[in-house]
């Protein structure tokens, strides 16, 4: 097999079902480029994530995506020029260039694009977000960008939620940010319901919020996209909520990452059709 024109990767755990390789291969095909996009699972490779990450540039990788549970850990390994990404404190895209490793976050921009595509300029309303890890931090700052007036945070690690709350208050003093211990309690009166935990993904089945707690909400987003129809979203749809699937975040973060990796053009409608076919 010939050497790829563009060599990319994805560092993460539990990513066997990731569709990112297919997305980037299709992006390359649109531009006549052979893209190889490797799943880099530390457990399978038999090396730590940071050892793998440190060796990518020398192996010819143009860049790599980073997913759960390494998005926050990789921040210390990259140069971040964008103050917003520094505030988010999580990186999902790294680029190797001229001896430097640059860090970006396309989960943030991807969530904003996914929300806007589904709900246009509709306000987010009071929003509950469960899970304040790497993707949760990006989504929370996305809510700020969308003008959220009130955000409620829940995490099994309350200290982590409190840290994010403090960062959000600094970034947006006019936004009310509250940490709750109970997701069901925090859901009372909420318009938006967000799952940014791994609960619901392949191998971690379940839902972080009982269906009965969804009554009265307007919309729901699940960062999980394998499977697309999670129990969380299925329950939300049954309650009549407006649904934003994790597939949309997957799509837009990938599109934005492709732009950073290559600066090559992309027909998004064609890519969407090819991915869904």
- Note the pLDDT tens digit of each residue in 220-262: 999 999 899 999 999 999 999 999 999 999 999 999 999 999 9
Q: Summarize pLDDT for 109-161 with one digit per residue, the tens.
A: 999 999 999 999 999 999 999 999 999 999 999 999 999 999 999 999 999 99
Helices (H), the chain: 20-30, 42-45, 49-55, 83-88, 106-119, 134-145, 158-171, 183-186, 231-238, 246-262, 268-276
The mean pLDDT value for 98-107 works out to: 98
> Does this chain's domain 6-107+249-276 share its CATH topology with 121-245?
yes
Mean pLDDT across the chain: 97
Q: What would the 3-class secondary structure string for 48-76 be?
A: CHHHHHHHCHHHCCCEEEECCCCCCHHHH
Q: Summarize pLDDT for 59-99 with one digit per residue, the tens.
A: 999 999 999 899 999 999 999 999 999 999 999 999 999 99
Does residue 1 carry a pLDDT above 90?
no
Contact criterion met (CB below 8 Å) for 105 and 138: yes
pLDDT for res 203: 87
Q: Any idea which architecture 121-245 has in CATH?
A: 3-Layer(aba) Sandwich (3.40)
Q: Summarize pLDDT for 196-215 with one digit per residue, the tens.
A: 999 999 889 999 999 999 99
Residue 80 CA, chain-centre distance (Å), reads 18
Q: Could you tell me what percent of the chain has a pLDDT over 70?
A: 100
Please report, for the chain, the start and end positions of each structural domain, with discontinuous segments joined by +: 6-107+249-276, 121-245
The mean pLDDT value for 176-194 works out to: 99
pLDDT for res 98: 96
pTM for the full predicted model: 0.94
pLDDT for res 226: 87
Q: How far apart are CA 109 and CA 187, in angstroms?
A: 25
Tell me the catalytic residues.
Answer: 71
Contact criterion met (CB below 8 Å) for 218 and 125: yes
CATH of domain 6-107+249-276: 3.40.50.10860
């Amino acid at each position: 097999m010939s050497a790829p024109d563009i060599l990319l990767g994805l560092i993460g755990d539990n990513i066997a079902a990731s569709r990112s390789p297919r997305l980037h291969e299709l992006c390359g095909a649109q531009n006549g480029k052979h893209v190889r996009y490797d799943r880099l699972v530390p457990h399978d490779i038999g090396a730590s994530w940071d050892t793998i990450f440190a060796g990518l540039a020398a192996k010819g990788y143009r860049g790599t995506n980073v997913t759960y549970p390494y998005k926050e850990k990789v921040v210390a390994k990259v140069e971040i020029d964008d103050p917003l990404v520094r505030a988010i404190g999580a990186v999902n895209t790294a680029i190797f260039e001229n001896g430097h490793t640059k860090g970006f976050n396309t989960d943030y921009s991807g969530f904003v694009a996914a929300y806007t595509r589904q709900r246009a300029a509709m306000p987010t309303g009071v929003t509950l977000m469960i899970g304040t890890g790497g993707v949760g931090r990006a989504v929370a700052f996305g809510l700020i960008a969308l003008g959220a007036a009130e955000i409620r945070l829940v995490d099994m690690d309350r200290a982590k939620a409190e840290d994010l709350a403090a960062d959000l208050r600094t970034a947006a003093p006019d936004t009310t940010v509250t940490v709750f211990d109970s997701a069901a309690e925090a859901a009372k009166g909420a318009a938006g319901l967000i799952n940014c935990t791994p609960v619901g993904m392949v191998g971690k089945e379940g839902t972080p919020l009982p269906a009965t707690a969804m009554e009265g909400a307007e919309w729901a987003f699940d960062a999980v996209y394998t499977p697309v129809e999670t129990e969380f979203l299925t329950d939300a749809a049954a309650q009549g909520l407006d649904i934003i699937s994790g597939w949309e975040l997957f799509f837009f973060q990938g599109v934005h990452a492709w732009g950073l990796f290559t600066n090559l053009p992309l027909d998004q409608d064609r890519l969407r059709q090819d991915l869904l076919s």
